[in-house]
Amino acid sequence: MLTTLVLAGALLASPRVQAEKWDIKAGLMPSASVSYSISSAVSVGGEEHTATFIYMFETKAAEQDKPLAATLSWKDGTLENGQSFPDTAWDVKLDSHGLITDADGDETSKKTLMPFVFVYPDNAVAVGDTWSETVKGGSDKDDRSMTADMKADSMDKVGDVDVMKVTETLTQKGDDGLKCTGTWWVDKSGKVLKFDVTYSNWEVAMVPGQMLDGHMTGSIAK
């Protein structure tokens, strides 16, 4: 009995271990550049097509009290038959969470790019924490806003680097709204090292009006 009481007292006296919080929002920095190797598979008219390309994310020097400006690019694209497709770049504005508020003034371009964007929290997060952010779109009569629900799911490794695995569900308003489920592996500085996204009703700016379903993976280009 005495031993039990001593053990219980020791447990009560022991400090509770707090989950470590990571300030991953610091990954959204001005004057930064990172490139990813992308593999994508999409369903078009009942046929499966694959492509590989380089996705480049480049932020510009920040202007005080203004959204962060960035250029998002697709380069060196190749289809499954070996055919190449043209390089494309978009000038975008990002809010403090990384959500695209404007992409060359075009709502379709915003929809094209959102599956590639990681959504950062306001504050440092630990495993189990959640956050949700919305970017407005469309009009009062045709709301095309997108909401990303994020969760710090678990700790993991990419190679020998400790990472936080973050899951995402992104939903756009409207009958043909974009829908994504994704997993992102983020290091302690907030840099995305790799990602895996499944999407439906994805619209590519170069082929407007064509809704695509598919899956893509991305990892930092070597």
pLDDT in tens, 177-211: 999 999 999 999 999 999 999 999 999 877 777 88
79-84, Cβ contacts within 8 angstroms, sequence gap of 24 or more: 79/49, 79/50, 79/51, 80/49, 80/50, 80/51
Q: What domains sit in the chain, N to C, each tagged with a CATH number?
A: 19-220 (2.40.128)
Q: What is the pLDDT of residue 16?
A: 42
In this predicted model, what pLDDT tens digit does every residue of 132-180 receive, in sequence order?
999 998 887 888 899 999 999 999 999 999 999 999 999 999 888 999 9
Sign of the CA dihedral running 184, 188, 192, 194: negative
Could you tell me which residues come within 8 angstroms of residue 211 by beta carbon, excluding any fewer than 6 positions away? Answer: 176, 200, 201, 202, 203
Sign of the CA dihedral running 210, 213, 219, 221: negative
At position 97, the amino acid (one-letter code) is H
